[in-house]
Amino acid sequence: MAAIANLRQSISDWIFRASFPEAPPVTLVQRRIFILPSRQGYVFAFVLLLLLIGSINYNLSLGYALTFLLMSMGGVAMLHTWRNLAHLRLRPGRCDPVFAGDIAQFNVSVETPSLTRFAIAMRRSGEEPVYVDVTPSETAGVSILVATRRRGLLRSGRLEVFTRYPVGLFHAWAYVDFGLTVIVYPRPDVFAGAAPMQSLNVSEEGIPVPGEEEFNMLRAYRPGDAPRQIAWKALAREQGLLTKEFSAMASSELWIDWDQAHGADVEARLSVLAHWVLQAESFGQSYGLRIPGTLISPNRGDLHRQRCLEALALFDSPSPP
């Protein structure tokens, strides 16, 4: 059975040209668009047949006219459905990392070169679609939401763009694959407690205790600074958004170490480590990360935190789901 399923998948890949991912922007040119009657469309064909039989039986000339009008309208609707999708331009958007258990967003922007397109839907295969109307004056953003459960690299896979507008008799669709990915960080284990303090190059004053640092200076706010570091009083004095820096941060280095995290399994350990990373960052401490196969030297700031969390997310999973 598995072999048959594989075969079907490869045939479908071959038919739908699955040689992805591809470079943006993608324009839905004629050959990319497929169109088939929807289930409603097949029922409509049956309705037309009944109308025709009725018209023949009762010799209703206007019945013939009605049947042929609706039939021709169905044909015209096919062209309109196809046109509703044709020539749309798609661009991948930024996809921010999330923690496992949160909702990941795959962002795609859609533009129309000319007329407004209604009810354009986008979905990952087998999932609920997201609908959007695309007007010529602005770029429409589509966010495909995916609930995450495990840490790792979440791939969007092939996205289906489809529409059934105006009357739902036909389903026109195209596939795009931008190779969108969302990095899913391990869920931080908030009950893990504080990271054990351990300094590699122990200074003479001993190990600094978090919370006892001395206030050093004010600097301009950078996105990602912890709220508790913001100088709210300065803000109240209308001096702008400033961040308090503490002298102790610069002087001490914390190593977040795989061996010190205790957990039932690898995932539990990673959760503990993630929590420590966040905690250290919020304390404004300089920290390094040491896990098997990866060593990140101490530093702090958003980029550093991202690097650490990424390392945790991708730990030991060269090919995640």
Contact present, 78 and 89 (Cβ < 8 Å): no
Q: How far is CA 234 from the centre of its chain?
A: 37
- 302 interacts with other proteins by CB under 8 A: no
Among 130, 146, 234, 250, binds other proteins (CB under 8 A): 130
- 125 interacts with other proteins by CB under 8 A: no
The minimum distance between CB 67 and other proteins, in angstroms, equals 8
Binding span for other proteins by CB under 8 A among 6-14, 118-126, 230-238, 287-295: 118-126
**251 contacts: CB under 8 Å, gap ≥ 6:** 203, 208
Among 28, 33, 51, 309, binds other proteins (CB under 8 A): 51
By beta-carbon proximity to other proteins, the closer residue of 122 and 291 is: 122
| Residue closest to 172 by CA, chosen among 28, 22, 10, 72 | 28
Binding span for other proteins by CB under 8 A among 74-82, 201-209, 217-225, 226-234: 74-82
Among 28, 85, 86, 180, binds other proteins (CB under 8 A): 86
Residue 35 structure tokens: 């169109």
Beta strand residue intervals within the chain, DSSP E: 26-27, 34-37, 89-92, 98-99, 103-111, 117-124, 130-134, 140-147, 152-155, 159-163, 170-176, 181-185, 215-220, 242-246, 253-257, 286-291, 294-299
Contact present, 302 and 269 (Cβ < 8 Å): no
Site for other proteins in 238-257 (CB under 8 A): none
Binding site for other proteins (CB under 8 A): 40, 43-44, 47, 50-51, 53-66, 68-73, 75-77, 79-80, 83, 86-87, 93, 109, 113-115, 118-119, 121, 128-136, 138-143, 145, 164-168
